[in-house]
Amino acid sequence: MNTYPHNLLSIEKSSLGRRGPQIRKAQKDASAYLPKEFLRRTPPNLPSLSEFDTVRHFTNLSRLNFCLDTHFYPLGSCTMKYNPKAYDVLSALDGFSALHPYTPQDYAQGTLSIIYGLRQQLKAITGLYDFTLQPAAGAHGEFTGALIAAAYHRSRKDFERKEIIIPDTAHGTNPATAVMAGCRVINIKSAPDGRVDIEELKKVLGPKTALVMLTIPNTAGLFEKNIKQIAKLAHEAGSLLYMDGANLNALIGMVKPANMGVDIMHINLHKTLATPHGGGGPGAGAVGVCEKLADFLPVPRVEFDGKKYKLSVKSKNTIGAVKSFYGNISVIIRAYCYLKQFDGQTLKEIAENAVLNANYVRVKLAKYFPAFFDEICMHECVLTIDKGMLPNAKTIDIAKMLLDMGFHAPTVYFPLIVPEAIMIEPTETENKQTLDKFISALISIFLEAGTNPEVLHQAPRKCPVKRIDEVMAAREPNLRW
């Protein structure tokens, strides 16, 4: 038995006529102002709860979640690091949150200076020439970057460049992005060491290549040793080099992407720069570019004339706007705060500790769940099941068993090139004691899987619900009350 609160829906707790907060009512009803045909016929089927009912309902829902504040959350490639509490308070200050986007610029200098300031910080940590903070998420940033590449080639009358080369380890967003930007995807197989196969790359690079899109380090947690050569080959072929910055946590303070030859990159502010994920968003996907691409960045942009910050839409080549307004401000403020707490020396402690933690987990588990690529990893390690030792074990069962032991599961079944993949990213903010407990948990799961695999298959038993029937959910979609 578990002691989690019962999961009635709000509408099931509803009692018609029960009311929440009061607002000042109108003197006359709507029909005094508007013809009847514009009015809705029946009130919406929303719950009728008191304020107290509502607070208790959602507070109890919150207790059904694992989250970073309560659980180790080693979700590979998602960089679930501590989200400093000060930033929550600071980003929510009225001065920021009560600002209408059409407030005249003189009255919005604080927010504009933060947009400008984060842009300078991102330039400093990447070596890139300029940034936009408009994109709302990593995938949105990818899309922005791909549009910039396409616009650049078009501006050179290089109309044939419509291919984007993507390795098979890439996140699914990369190929989906390429198609949205009007390009064709050229998939390339990775080399046996998990990195880009230079010979394969050479075969597909050519006058049609618009972009080579790489995640660095890649999703196997490995650094592209030959990145300078890759950049050179891409550039010689007339292509641009895109870096998916989802894994920047491994390099921050150590390597500037611009020095690797990167022309365009996005940074998931909600990953490397410690802003909370909010159960799936909002995130932010800042996009940086080299000098020749700067004029293609979206508008409006924030400029500084030495005295005042100004919004500018002046640009000959801009791709336009990828969303309304200037970016996800509350996320941008938090990221700005985070970088304000580091200097040029301490910044590298992020990457150093992230990489040390990942390698510690990898080595400690090597005898049980070996790393698929047996070498020093970066910020995350990708483990697999040794079918010789555990012929019947499945990663999904291991993931669910971890939940019962009080740990969020790692990313599983990704990257696709690794069978039964278990992708662990501890991040730098976890301490050794937590890692040791997690390692012990996985070792005990290993032992159980050898002797009693059925028990694993029945996990989780201690979560608010047991294993969920996903087939039923998809065959008979029930998506609303």
* Positions in 362-401 near another protein (CB under 8 A): 362-364, 376, 378, 399-400
Asked if residue 236 binds another protein (CB under 8 A), the reply is no
Asked if residue 73 binds another protein (CB under 8 A), the reply is yes
As to burial, measured by CB atoms within 10 angstroms (0-12 exposed, 13-18 middle, 19+ buried), residue 475 is: exposed
Asked if residue 329 binds another protein (CB under 8 A), the reply is yes
CA quadruple 440, 443, 445, 448: dihedral sign: negative
Beta carbons of 240 and 206 less than 8 angstroms apart: no
The CA distance from 411 to 243, in Å, is 21
The CA distance from 318 to 300, in Å, is 10
As to burial, measured by CB atoms within 10 angstroms (0-12 exposed, 13-18 middle, 19+ buried), residue 291 is: exposed
Nearest residue (CB) to another protein, 316 versus 480: 480
Q: Which of 132, 177, 219, 247 binds another protein (CB under 8 A)?
A: 177
Asked if residue 159 binds another protein (CB under 8 A), the reply is no
Question: Could you tell me which stretch among 237-245, 361-369, 381-389, 446-454 binds another protein (CB under 8 A)?
Answer: 361-369
The CA distance from 248 to 255, in Å, is 9
What does the per-residue mask of binding to another protein show for 122-151, with x meaning CB under 8 A? Answer: --xx-x--------xxxxx-xx---x--xx
- Whether omega before 217 lies within 30 degrees of 0, making that bond cis, reads yes
Cβ 227 to another protein shortest distance, Å:
8
The DSSP output letter for 302 is E
Q: By CB under 8 A, what part of segment 2-31 binds another protein? A: 7, 9-11, 14, 18-21, 23-30
Cβ 210 to another protein shortest distance, Å:
10
Q: What is the largest CA-CA distance in the chain?
A: 78
Nearest to 369 by CA among 299, 314, 450, 273: 450
Q: By CB under 8 A, what part of segment 190-219 binds another protein? A: none
Asked if residue 360 binds another protein (CB under 8 A), the reply is yes
Cβ 370 to another protein shortest distance, Å:
15
Q: Which of 233, 339, 390, 421 binds another protein (CB under 8 A)?
A: 339
Asked if residue 469 binds another protein (CB under 8 A), the reply is yes
Phi, psi at residue 383, to the nearest 5°?
A: -100, 170
Count of residues touching another protein (by CB under 8 A): 201
What does the per-residue mask of binding to another protein show for 289-328, with x meaning CB under 8 A? Answer: ---------x--------------------xxxxxxxxxx
Question: Could you tell me which stretch among 66-74, 197-205, 234-242, 380-388 binds another protein (CB under 8 A)?
Answer: 66-74
Asked if residue 447 binds another protein (CB under 8 A), the reply is no
Nearest to 133 by CA among 153, 147, 148, 117: 117
